[in-house]
Amino acid sequence: MDTKSNKYYLTTAIPYVNAPPHIGHALEFVQADTIAKYHALKGQEVFLTTGVDENSIKCVQAAAKQNITTKALCDANSNSFREFVKSIGMHYDAFVRSSQDEAHWNGVEKLWNMCMDSDDIYKKTYSGLYCTGCEAFYTQKDLVNGLCPEHLTKPDVVKEENYFFRLSKYSGRIREMIDSGSLVILPKERKNEIIGQIDEGLEDFSISRSNERAKGWGIAVPKDESQKIYVWFDALSIYLTSIGFGSNEQKFKSLWPADMHIIGKGIIRFHAIYWPAMLMSAGLEMPKHIIVHGYVTSKGQKISKSLGNVVDPMAMIDKYEVNAVRYYLLRGIPTFEDGDFSENDLIAANNTELVANIGNFIHRTMTFAYKNYKGELKSKNAIDKNDMEIISRINLLIDEFDADMSNFKIGRGLNRVLEVSSIGNKYFQDNKPWELINADRDGCEKVLFVCIGICKALSVLLYPYLPDAAEQLAKSLNTNIELLQGAKILPQGEVHINEPKQLFKKIEDAKAI
């Protein structure tokens, strides 16, 4: 088998560490982890890159406000991000700290030199409007009432000598790549947004900052110690350096190009315009998909550090446990749109769906089977027509789940999981095994055999969303997480289950913060 054809390489955005993580980061990390685990269920070799963006002016300024060194700030907040990623249940294969990873620095310099060799980097003096929150220059037409449209702050007027990248040279090629579908941007509205920006005309952009403004923090421009490489040129390179660019070319060639970058809509221009142009200049392959999620909002307003309405995701996990938080983010926040975060909605989703639907079916099936059959069941009787219809419906839902997830429809995929557990609940209720156990023990065993088959399917379907719970269920079923097609229910066989444990807890008398 061609190992490269079986790989799936995806990345999160690389967040700034001028402050600890907020709930918007949680959404992206959970979405990326869910997509990664889905592709693992497909039997692919998955590699997930994440990390933190430390070489920014905003980190320098945040450290100055706290009267600490920039390194001290980055150390503290980067550790917070690493711990948070672990707490939210995201598995990663590479976590890069842009200020600390020597292999990353070497890769950034290599990319710079490749673009320089293509005659796409030049130096000039420039004056413009700079938003430190975005780490980007704006023109007057980009502003809304004189303010940055993203952070609602007045940009600074900056004049200095910088290196520039010839973005204008690549506008036609970027447009052609998007039109042809060789680079897929989802959802369609974001694709149209980028096409509109290209059609308005692309201007060359600054890719360095003076040492004076950067306070000496960041990666030096090759052969020019007076300048630091622009934070976005640096941070985007993590997608390359994390898989060996500049340090392990064999590994890099086996994983690049990226199959998916998952990002927030506020940084789409950097990923869908700047990044493809930089890769073209260096002669590197393009990523295949850019998936753009919306914002987590609070009362309709974007949640962000800059706006001061941050929701602490660690507090949410401590208060409600990780299963409830992951479930709500994937269920309550649309994949491609803005979604309002509400603790009351989180509680309702946990109690009425995760506990009362999915958890209820699994718990009643597993505890009844373990108590009455000591976990040993066989399909002794022929599966009747009604059971075959149930089995066929479940297996069809698995195929529909597969189709949804292959198209990044995370919420719809979770709907399929709920449908499967709803079918299981109805089947259990209709067949009344608590009565059948006394009248027809073999018939009761057949009913439970089907129900346990549904539990097995749920262990697989839940895995991308709630991996810890899915693995605990698989352990109770005395099995491992199957590949996706292995989740389909077979009409004959036997099962041996272990003593089950309750997967989900109802949130009692919770008071929203």
Beta bridge mates, 292: 263
Total domains in the fold of the chain: 1
* Six-digit token string for 260: 């998916």
Using N-to-C axis directions, what is the helix angle for 410-431 and 23-41, rounded to 10°? Answer: 70
The pLDDT assigned to 481 comes to 93
Q: Which pair of structure tokens corresponds to residue 213?
A: 């403004």
Residues 299 and 427: their CA atoms lie apart, in Å, by: 40
Calpha distance 266→497 (Å, rounded): 48
Q: Looking at the domain assignment, is residue 47 inside a domain? A: no
Is residue 298 included in any domain, yes or no?
no
Q: Which of 25, 261, 265, 293 is catalytic?
A: 25
User: Is 74 a known active-site residue?
Assistant: no
Per the domain annotation, does 420 fall within a domain? Answer: yes
Residue 115: active-site member = no
d(CA 252, CA 139): 37
* Cα–Cα distance for residue pair 484/162, rounded to 1 Å: 51
User: Is there a cis peptide before residue 20, judged by omega within 30 degrees of 0?
Assistant: no
Calculate the alpha carbon distances from 118 to 184, 239, 278, 495 in Å.
26, 21, 10, 63
CA distances from 320 to 233, 263, 303 (A): 38, 26, 20
Amino acid code (one letter) for 258: A
Return d(Cα 461, Cα 398) in angstroms, integer. 8
Which candidate in 59, 74, 115, 131 is catalytic? Answer: 131
Segments in the chain below pLDDT 70: 1-3, 133, 151, 303-308, 380-382, 509-513
Give residue 414's Cα distance to chain centre.
15
Number of continuous H segments (helices) and E segments (strands) in the chain: 21, 18
CA dihedral 133, 288, 208, 204 (to 10 degrees): -100
Name the token pair of 126: 């420039």
Q: State the number of CA atoms in the 13 A half-sphere of 422 facing the CB.
A: 10
- Sequential DSSP letters for 168-207: GGGHHHHHHHHHHTSSEEESHHHHHHHHHHHHH----EE-
From the list 74, 134, 444, 455, the catalytic residue is 134
Counted residue by residue, the chain has a size of: 513
The pLDDT of residue 305:
60
β-bridge mates for residue 123, sequence order: 163
- H-type helices in 201-321, by residue range? 211-214, 231-236, 238-241, 249-255, 268-269, 275-282, 313-320
pLDDT tens digits, residue range 212-256? Answer: 888 899 999 999 999 999 889 999 999 999 999 999 999 999 999
Spell out where 111-155 has E strands. Answer: 121-131, 136-138
Written as one letter, the residue type at 441 is: R
Strand, coil or helix: what is 1?
coil
C-alpha dist (Å) from residue 263 to 151, 186, 341, 355, 413: 17, 11, 19, 31, 20
Q: Which domain holds residue 462?
A: 347-496
The per-residue pLDDT for 511 is 55
Residue 352 located in a structural domain: yes
Catalytic residue of the set 37, 228, 261, 305 = 305
> Is 271 marked active-site?
no
Q: Give domain status of residue 65, yes or no.
A: no
Q: Would you state the pLDDT for residue 133?
A: 65
Euclidean distance between CA atoms 337 and 29, whole angstroms: 16
Q: Which two tokens stand for residue 1?
A: 């088998």
- Is 134 an annotated catalytic residue? yes
Q: Catalytic pick from 228, 302, 446, 456?
A: 302
Phi-psi category of 51—alpha, beta or left, where left has phi over 0 and alpha has psi -120 to 50?
left
| Tokens at 230, concatenated | 């622009």
Per the annotation, the verdict on 378 as an active-site residue is no
Rg (CA), the chain: 26
305 is catalytic: yes
| Segment holding 225, helix H or strand E | strand 224-229
Catalytic-role residue among 59, 74, 115, 148: 148
Name the residue with tokens 């449209």: 149
**For residue 364, what is the domain's CATH number?**
1.10.730.10
In a domain? residue 117: no
Active-site pick, 22, 39, 110, 265: 22
**Environment class of 475 (CB within 10 Å of its CB; exposed 0-12, middle 13-18, buried 19+):** middle
Respond yes or no: is residue 451 known to be catalytic.
Answer: no
With respect to residue 414, please indicate whether it lies within any of the assigned structural domains: yes
The one catalytic residue in 151, 261, 265, 488 is: 151
The pLDDT tens digits of the residues spanning 27-81 come to 999 999 999 999 999 999 999 999 999 998 889 989 999 999 999 999 999 999 9
Do you find a cis peptide bond into 276, omega within 30 degrees of 0?
no
- Domain membership of residue 413 (yes or no) is yes
